[in-house]
Structure 1
Amino acid sequence: MNVFDRKAKRLQRDRSTTLPNFEESQYVKEEIGYRTYDRLLDIKREFDVAVDLGCGLGYVSRHITKDTAKLIYQCEMSEKLLKKAEVSPEVPTYKLIVDEEFLPFKDKSLDVVVSSLSLHWVNDLPGCFKAVQKSLKPDRPFIGSMFGGDTLFELRVSLQLAEQELQGGISPHISPFTDVRDLGNLLNRAGFTMLTIDVDEVKSSYDDMLSLMMDLKGMGENNCVWTRRPMLHRNTIELAEKKYREMYSTEEGLEATFQIVNFIAWSPDPSQPKPLQRGSAKFSLKDIERIDELTKDVKSLEEELDKGLNPKKDK
């Protein structure tokens, strides 16, 4: 099922590059891109081939050095955005126009794939994850970040209340985002192992609701859901602004929340550690307060058993 109009999203990203607030509205993507790069540094390996999927302005790959990768492919569906993307000063970089829903890479050809704040616009997310997993060599990481379900809940609630009051119904103005639990399930189903998922929040303040909406347009994050309404009526915006101020106003202005779901997933390999079998645990969680005492008892029993099996050990 197609939720997003991918052609509209490409056009939105193209047009964002011509807006006067384009550069200054990239603050969230620049911050999360650097954090994603920092997670890459936690993996003490040197990768031959790296892919920055949905690279935008090179939010991740611009930071990568020759100690981390030997070659980078920057992949972006918007040609105009790709032309503006910054590249690593140390690593040879190739720019490719690539739709995240149709990856062109051969099976087991990549050493690491990174993606920062791009995959939330993909219709077939399970298919995209599966394609990434097949493209990675065994025991290689997929490191990414996506907007989570609570992103821009303030704006969403304000618009819904205004439309419900004025028009007797609501339409989607904010993209539906992937839930944390769903993301883990999707990565597992795609064949990834050893998942690590955590959640961050970035909060910003705005003078008014239109300033927030203009920043979203500058990021290329305006709505592209197929069922979206073509325009917002002025009275709807005015009432939504009023409700926004009533519910989410702070001393700094109107607060906007960006929830970030970060993940690291690994392509499978026989050398990876396996989970213990069910029932093999030595202790129960209900005995956690007595863990020191129980550990001593287990060691004592093991020593007695060892002596019984090896009677000559004490002689």
Structure 2
Amino acid sequence: MNMTLIHRINGILMSSVRNFSNSQLCFSLPPNSIMNVFDRQAKLRQKERAAADPDVKLYDYIKDEIGYRLADRIFDIKREFKCALDLGCGRGHLAKHVLGDNVKNLIMADMCSAYIDQAQLPEQVNVEKKVLDEESFSLDENSLDLVISCLSLHWVNDLPGCFNKIIASLKNDGVFMAAIFGGETLYELRSSLQLADLERDGGISPHISPFTQIRDIGSLMNRAGFTMLTIDCDELVIGYPSMFQLMWDLKGMGESNAARNRTLHLKRDTMLAAAAIYEELYGKVKEDGEKYIPATFQIIYMVGWKPDASQPKPIDRGTGQVSLKDLHKLNEIIKKTTKIKLDDDDK
């Protein structure tokens, strides 16, 4: 495929995306409506098929890495959590990094029983396993000190409802920590498949599931009632020999497309065209001359707390002693600050 054709198809693609975005503005759903974007039963079957693979450990590399990074954030909170929930625990990607110094009792829950059976357990932590659907689970209110989730909630249709259930299950001043795939995940694969669809079939099919945008996470958590939010994102860029190895690994992770309107069968000529486009637009070459294609995984990390009277609160409006307009005089203001000598009892 020459670059002129790629630019022409890309222009058509961007026009289609703009038209789709504009059409979305023409209607609005009633409050608290649930958009059933994902087929949860299809996702369960994908997970069960992945768990049945004798080489399932080969595909844990992304979830293990993010689980390690998320567990490291638990260590930053200097508190002992008596009861915690790992929601969407998978094969224990996050739980195996949890230490008994932080968590005493851990509930490992997932919709796939095969994953739970295979999960690696943390040491020195009392573990209880439960088969729960992240979208429709129910736990006792005010029963948990910590809820954690690693790369699972991006498949939930009713994310606001899930957040409401989580905050209801937390005790006051309890914390919720999670990592999900963000909207820029696999943008190279998405655009390559869309361009191939346009070239071969004259239209676009949803081959990659939609992911939540980082700008929406904060508003959803605020809406659920969480306070003191911390939201940031990171990117993992992983190289693969070709698009086919990338798609094979996604299947092994149980992360294949589960959108309800997905195309069940991808034609051979469309896949070959997509692989060629992927290599043409995004292909890289290593120092030794070996070619590879990069795949971007955007990870959104979120931390939120259930409100409690003991939490720090912003000072009242109008109580500030220095105006922002005098910020350029900060050095002079500091020099005029009265110094108080501390006694030994104050140190």
Whether these two folds match at TM > 0.5 is: yes
- Contact 2:200-2:270 at 8 Å conserved across structures: yes
Which residue type is aligned with residue 14 of structure 1?
Answer: E
1:132-281 matches, within 5 Å, as 132-252=166-286, 253-281=292-320
Residue 282 (structure 1) shift: 4.3
Write the distance in 1 (CA, Å) between the matches of 2:65 and 2:108: 18
Residue 68 (structure 1) shift: 1.1
Write the distance in 1 (CA, Å) between the matches of 2:323 and 2:45: 56
What's 1:309 paired with?
none
- Contact 2:177-2:304 at 8 Å conserved across structures: yes
1:74-153 matches, within 5 Å, as 74-153=108-187
Q: 1:45 to 1:166 in 2, by over 3 A?
A: same
Q: Which runs of 5+ in 2 are unaligned?
A: 1-34, 287-291, 341-347
- Contact 1:21-1:215 at 8 Å conserved across structures: no
CA deviations over 1:231-285 (Å, ceiling 9, x no partner): 1111111111111011111124100000000111101101111123445444455
Of 269-278 and 222-231, the range deviating more from structure 2: 269-278
Instruction: Indicate the percent of aligned positions where both proteins have the same amino acid.
Output: 50
Write the distance in 2 (CA, Å) between the matches of 1:276 and 1:204: 45
Write the distance in 2 (CA, Å) between the matches of 1:290 and 1:238: 64
What's 2:82 paired with?
48
Counterpart of 2:172 in 1: which secondary structure?
Answer: coil
How many pairs were matched up? 301
Which residue type is aligned with residue 271 of structure 1?
Answer: S
CA deviations over 1:114-143 (Å, ceiling 9, x no partner): 100000000000000010001000001101
Name segments (4+ residues, structure 1) moved above 6 Å: none
Write the distance in 2 (CA, Å) between the matches of 1:110 and 1:169: 48
* The one of 21, 36, 40 aligned to 2:70: 36
- Contact 2:138-2:165 at 8 Å conserved across structures: no
CA deviations over 1:17-50 (Å, ceiling 9, x no partner): 1235421111010000011110000001111101
Write the distance in 1 (CA, Å) between the matches of 2:142 and 2:65: 30
Which residue type is aligned with residue 118 of structure 2?
Answer: K
Q: 1:236 to 1:287 in 2, by over 3 A?
A: farther
Which residue type is aligned with residue 224 of structure 1?
Answer: A
Counterpart of 1:111 in 2: which secondary structure?
Answer: strand
Across the aligned residues of Structure 1 and Structure 2, the Cα RMSD in angstroms comes to: 1.7
Which residue type is aligned with residue 63 of structure 2?
Answer: K
Write the distance in 2 (CA, Å) between the matches of 1:25 and 1:223: 16
Write the distance in 2 (CA, Å) between the matches of 1:190 and 1:296: 45
Write the distance in 1 (CA, Å) between the matches of 2:204 and 2:320: 51
Write the distance in 1 (CA, Å) between the matches of 2:99 and 2:229: 25
Write the distance in 1 (CA, Å) between the matches of 2:58 and 2:327: 51
- Contact 1:46-1:69 at 8 Å conserved across structures: yes
